[in-house]
């Protein structure tokens, strides 16, 4: 595995799997905070590393891994520019190079959990972005993060908040040459298919996407999308059929047997 140069952005060393006597939370420890501060200072003049480090370490020790990611995201928000788009661009410039086809970071990618939490927490609110829609910059951020870790956690929030826009983007990414991006399309948000389905069909602007799911995703499934997206497709179509909203899109609204 190739490591970033010592004078460039870096991530802390991590095992391939959890070792006896340790926990996932240990992946976001003092070393991770130091790396995070170092990486941002490379791209943001005047970044107060000492203040960030103090705030990041305060209360960190008793937290589990997801809580640590959320805590560090809050501290990042306090130390980066107020406008979300400016803050997320700094985080993107601070990233290490994307994984190659053969890279295997083991658990090291959890270093980017605070970045993903940052997008999930602050990337949906136009008010925090000077009144401007944050969708595109959030999609760019999740695209880049999933090439280094996984943006599944944050993407699910976008599927629930903006289902039609997000699903359309994921459908576009199913043909991306990067397998890490295609993996995101297969996983993001589909761990609760019924909830996503309900959000989709209750949004009037999502009905064309529901129709696309019925008529088009079967083709994509045969080439690049595995079982999770198939399960989501079935949940959407079944839920929509129950409400009878597909009859205007296709002749016959009864469910077809699953292939």
Q: Which residues of 145-171 are buried (b: 16+ CB within 10 A; e: fewer)?
A: bbbbbbbbbbbbbbbbebbbbbbebbb
Q: What is the pLDDT along the chain (259 residues), one digit of tens a residue?
A: 344 445 899 999 888 777 777 788 999 999 999 999 999 999 999 999 999 999 999 999 999 999 999 999 999 999 999 999 999 999 999 999 998 865 566 789 999 999 999 999 999 999 999 999 999 999 999 999 999 999 988 998 998 889 889 888 988 888 888 888 888 876 654 555 555 555 554 454 444 444 444 444 433 333 344 454 555 555 555 655 555 544 444 443 334 444 4
H helix runs in the chain, sequence order: 30-43, 49-57, 65-79, 84-93, 113-122, 135-146, 152-161, 163-173, 179-187, 193-201, 207-221, 227-243
- Please check whether residue 78 lies inside any domain of the structure: yes
Of 125, 149, 173, the one marking the end of a domain is 149
- Please check whether residue 5 lies inside any domain of the structure: no
- Report the predicted TM-score, pTM, of the whole model to 2 decimal places: 0.75
- To 5 degrees, how large is the angle CA 127–CA 142–CA 59? 70
On whether both 46 and 108 belong to a single domain, the answer is yes
- Please check whether residue 10 lies inside any domain of the structure: no
On whether both 142 and 176 belong to a single domain, the answer is no
On whether both 43 and 100 belong to a single domain, the answer is yes
Of 104, 123, 149, the one marking the end of a domain is 149
On whether both 144 and 257 belong to a single domain, the answer is no
DSSP 8-state secondary structure symbol assigned to residue 246: S
């Amino acid at each position: 595995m190739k490591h970033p140069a010592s004078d460039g952005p870096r991530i802390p060393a991590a095992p391939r799997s959890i070792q006896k006597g340790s926990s996932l939370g240990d992946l976001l420890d003092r070393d991770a905070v130091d790396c995070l501060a170092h990486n941002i200072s490379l791209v943001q003049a005047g970044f107060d590393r000492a203040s960030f480090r103090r705030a990041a370490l305060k209360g960190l020790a008793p937290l589990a891994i997801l809580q640590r990611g959320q805590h560090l995201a809050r501290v990042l928000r306090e130390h980066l520019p107020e406008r979300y788009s400016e803050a997320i661009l700094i985080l993107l410039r601070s990233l290490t190079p994307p994984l190659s086809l053969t890279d295997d970071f083991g658990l090291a990618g959890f270093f980017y959990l605070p970045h993903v939490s940052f997008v999930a927490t602050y990337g949906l609110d136009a008010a925090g972005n000077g009144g401007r829609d944050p969708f595109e910059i959030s999609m760019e951020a999740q695209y880049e993060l999933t090439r280094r870790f996984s943006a599944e956690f944050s993407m699910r929030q976008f599927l629930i908040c903006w289902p039609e826009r997000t699903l359309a983007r994921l459908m576009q990414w199913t043909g991306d040459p990067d397998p890490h991006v295609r993996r995101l399309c297969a996983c993001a948000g589909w761990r609760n298919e019924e909830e996503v389905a309900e959000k989709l069909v209750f949004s009037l602007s999502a009905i064309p996407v529901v129709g696309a799911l019925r008529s088009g995703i079967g083709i994509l499934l045969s080439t690049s999308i595995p079982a999770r997206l198939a399960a989501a497709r079935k949940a959407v179509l079944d839920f929509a059929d129950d409400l009878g909203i597909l009859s205007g899109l296709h002749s016959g609204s009864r469910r077809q047997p699953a292939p």
